[in-house]
Amino acid sequence: MTPAANHNFDPTTLREYDIRGIVGETLKDADANAIGRSFGTIIRRSGGSRVAVGYDGRTSSTGFETALVAGLNAAGIEAVRIGLGPTPMLYYAVYELACDGGIMITGSHNPPAWNGFKMMLKSRPFFGADIHGLGKMAAAGDWETGTATNEAIDIMDRYVDRLLQGFDATQDFTIAWDCGNGVAGPVVERLVRRLPGTHHLLFTDVDGTFPNHHPDPTDEKNLVDLKRAVAEKDCDFGVAFDGDADRLGAVDGQGRVVWGDQLLGILAEPVLKDLPGATIIADVKASQALYDRIAELGGKPLMWKTGHSLIKAKMQETGAPLAGEMSGHIFFKHEWYGFDDGIYAAVRLIRAVAQLGGSLTDLKDAMPPMVNTPELRFQSSEDRKFKVVEEVLARLKAAGATVDETDGARVTTPDGWWLLRASNTQDVLVARVEARSTEALARLQHDLDSALAESGVAPTIVGH
């Protein structure tokens, strides 16, 4: 690849907490090369010299990796290539191999035509102003120049060893694992051979076309195969992962979805037994029942913005040992590193269920009955979605509504609450509604639909 003097990214690719776009349209090899050159320059100017690089199973990922590594090398930065694997394995490699940063090439849960780059600067997330600063650096061609080597290191076995460190559950659960043809597969195959119990694996072969179902466990239609396996194999529960395995989904022994905020409530209990009074962070989409549960367990619940980088930064600021999002990102600092890891969260779920009586089904039964929607998504263009939220907020405040503006608008009424925020990864508005009865839910959904309609957004829900 002929070195460029500078590079301009498609502005739609520079997101709040990653760089992401459509392969061949808004994201090309030249972009990967410029990301490597720019990030490498940032690392070099901060005194660093080594960056870990990993990639997911998308068909475009290996080509992007080649271009990215060339960009890092051109900035005088050594690339430590860990190859195909989960995003959290890349995060782990930064710590384990004492790298100065990391870049993961992944489209996460986006459709197969998408891909992207998640970055980590030493032990902190690289997001927001960092990403936009990288874009300005590339546009100006403000790059260091040098030469460097690259080294391939197979770290997967060490990663599996670390996943199992501290594992103390002896109960023989029967568990179904749906890897969704994402990069969780090879890790899970190695992991379950060393876990007690019986394990039934689905779709562990890595295939970036995702031939069986889309790898997004927040959408219940993607859990059909997992539910079937749990029923047919008489499993105690089942777990599922997104495309790059930084998110966890789960169903109990009856095939009921245990949503991200409900998982966090379960995972918080052993942590708070070990660290009484600790702060537990959840995103604005989480149920009020979760915040109440954390308080009941003696913890300090903290509501924060949605977004894996935003949550990680808040954990570092507050010293929280655990955080989670409705989307299934679970972040353990307790006995771990503070980053989101769906596979590690699954291991901790096994431990928690064993410690809390041995039945995820019973734990689900014990949860307070709340009537709520899953995450709802409404089509809105990249340039319009944030403006819609601003308009809705302005009208709500003018009407004297009780609104939390932590991330978008979370409106609380005697009926419950509803949330509207702009997605940072897709051209959609994200909403959720929760109430204490079906009648109250209907009233709140009507309020949400009216707020959207006033800003010209059709009430048609789009898929994930």
Predicted confidence pLDDT, tens digits, the chain (464 residues): 556 799 999 998 998 889 999 999 999 999 999 999 999 999 999 999 999 999 999 999 999 999 999 999 999 999 999 999 999 999 999 999 999 999 999 998 888 999 999 999 998 889 999 999 999 999 999 999 999 999 999 999 999 999 999 999 999 999 999 999 999 999 999 999 999 999 999 999 999 999 999 999 989 999 999 999 999 999 999 999 999 999 999 999 999 999 999 999 999 999 999 999 999 999 999 999 999 999 999 999 999 998 888 899 899 999 999 999 999 999 999 999 999 999 999 999 999 999 999 999 999 999 988 899 888 899 998 889 999 999 999 999 999 999 999 999 999 999 999 999 998 777 899 999 999 899 999 999 999 999 999 999 987 666 54
| The residue type at 381 | S
Last residue of a domain, one of 345, 365, 385: 365
For residue 427, give the 3-state DSSP assignment. Answer: coil
pLDDT given for residue 2 in this prediction: 57
- Give yes or no: residues 416 and 297 share one domain: no
Provide the residue range defining the domain that includes 72.
11-154
Using CA atoms, how far apart are residues 448 and 26, in angstroms rounded to an integer?
Answer: 33
- Give yes or no: residues 440 and 379 share one domain: yes
- Give yes or no: residues 186 and 247 share one domain: yes
pLDDT given for residue 464 in this prediction: 43
This prediction has a pTM of 0.92
Closest C-alpha among 125, 103, 114, 135 to residue 25: 114
Has residue 111 been placed in a domain?
yes
- Give yes or no: residues 312 and 433 share one domain: no
- Give yes or no: residues 89 and 186 share one domain: no
Has residue 6 been placed in a domain?
no
Specify the number of domains making up the chain: 3
pLDDT given for residue 301 in this prediction: 98
The answer to whether residues 20 and 110 touch, using CB atoms and an 8 Å cutoff, is yes
Beta strands, E only, 122-158: 124-125, 150-152
pLDDT given for residue 4 in this prediction: 77
Last residue of a domain, one of 111, 138, 154: 154
Has residue 316 been placed in a domain?
yes
What is the Rg, in whole angstroms, of the alpha carbon atoms belonging to the chain? 22
The answer to whether residues 340 and 358 touch, using CB atoms and an 8 Å cutoff, is no
Of the candidates 108, 287, 309, 380, the residue annotated as catalytic is: 108
pLDDT given for residue 67 in this prediction: 98
- Give yes or no: residues 188 and 136 share one domain: no
Has residue 187 been placed in a domain?
yes
pLDDT given for residue 375 in this prediction: 82
Has residue 90 been placed in a domain?
yes
The answer to whether residues 446 and 452 touch, using CB atoms and an 8 Å cutoff, is no
**CATH number, domain at 219?**
3.40.120.10
Has residue 3 been placed in a domain?
no
Last residue of a domain, one of 154, 181, 206: 154
Has residue 464 been placed in a domain?
no
Q: Is 423 annotated as catalytic?
A: no
Residues 6 or more apart whose Cβ sits within 8 Å of residue 443: 415, 435
Has residue 228 been placed in a domain?
yes
